[in-house]
Amino acid sequence: MSKKYKDREDAGRILAREISYMAKKRNIDINQDNAVILAIPDEGVIPAYVVANELNLKINLIVVGKLKLPNSDIGFGSITIDGTTVLNDAMINKYRLREDKISKIEKEVIDKMVNKIELYEIPLINLELLKDKYVIIVDEGAETGYSMIGAIKSINLITEPKIIIVAIPTSSFHAIMVINRYTPHIVCPNIVDSFFFQVRNSYNEYYKLDNEIVLKYIDKIKEKNILFS
C-alpha cells in the first residue's frame, strides 16, 4: 500500500530517520566533515532542509530543470545549470522532437534556472568541494528519475564523491530502476509500482511552491548557518 506523508516537512523527518538507519546499518558515520545535503529546487528544498536540520548537516542546492513538451507537463529529460542533459530518447522519438526544438526548450529552461538562482541569493555550490564526501541528494519524489540523474551526472563530471546517496520520500518503481543505473545507494521509504504514479498522491497536503515559501526555507538555512559553500 502506498504511504501517505502529511506534508513535505513530515516526509523530510521520515527520510532523515531512514538515512540515519541506512548509515548505521552500513557502519557509516555521517557528519558535517564528510557529508553534505544537496536539494533539488524548488520542491526538494523543504524535505532537504528538514533532513539537514535533523542530521546536523550542511546543505546547498543543485539546480536541475525539467525538460517538458511545449504547453504540457509531459517530460522528456532534464538539464542542470552547467548544461548537463539527460534525455529520454523514447519520448523524443514518440513526439518527434527535432534537435532545434530541444535546444530551444533547453535554453528556455536554463534561463528560468538562472533567474531562480538570482532570486535565491546564495552562491552556486562548487562541485569540486564534494570530492571524497557522502553526497545526499534530496527531492520531494521521483516520477521518471531524470532530474535526479541529471544531478548525479553533473556531480560525477566534475568530481569524485565518496558515494552519492539519493534520498526521496516517494518514487515510482520505474524511476528507482532508472536511478539505480547511476547509483545503488537509494533511500526511498515509499516505492509505488504503478503506471499512473504521481508524487502529489503520496502527500495529504500537497501544493505548488511559490517563491515566497522557497525563500522562507532558504532564509532558515542562512539563519542556522548550515549553508555549504
Only one residue has cell 542556522, namely 224
Q: How many CA atoms lie within 13 A of 220 on its CB side?
A: 15
Residue with cell string 558515520: 29
Per-residue pLDDT at 49: 98
Q: What is the C-alpha separation between 172 and 199, in angstroms, rounded?
A: 8
| pLDDT given at position 159 | 96
User: Quick one: angle between helices 45-55 and 211-223, nearest 10?
Assistant: 20
Query: d(Cα 41, Cα 49) in Å, to the nearest integer?
Result: 11
Residue 178 contacts residue 145 (beta carbons within 8 Å): yes
Q: What angle do CA 81, 87, 90 make, to 5 degrees?
A: 165
How long a stretch of residues is the chain? Answer: 229
pLDDT averaged per 10 residues, the chain (length 229)? 88 98 94 97 97 98 92 88 90 92 95 91 91 98 94 96 98 96 97 91 94 96 94
The C-alpha atoms of residue 88 and residue 189 are separated, in whole angstroms, by: 26
pLDDT at 196: 86
pTM recorded for the entire structure: 0.94
Please report the pLDDT score of residue 96 as a whole number: 92
Structure-block grid coordinates of residue 214: 522557497
Going from the N-terminus, what domains does the chain have, and what CATH number goes with each?
Answer: 8-64+124-223 (3.40.50.2020)
Task: Provide the pLDDT for residue 1.
Answer: 52
Q: Return the pLDDT at 131.
A: 97
Rounded-to-integer distance, Cα 114 and Cα 95, Å: 28
For residue 159, give the DSSP letter. Answer: -
pLDDT value of residue 82: 86
Q: What is the dihedral of CA 155, 156, 157, 160, to 10 degrees?
A: 100
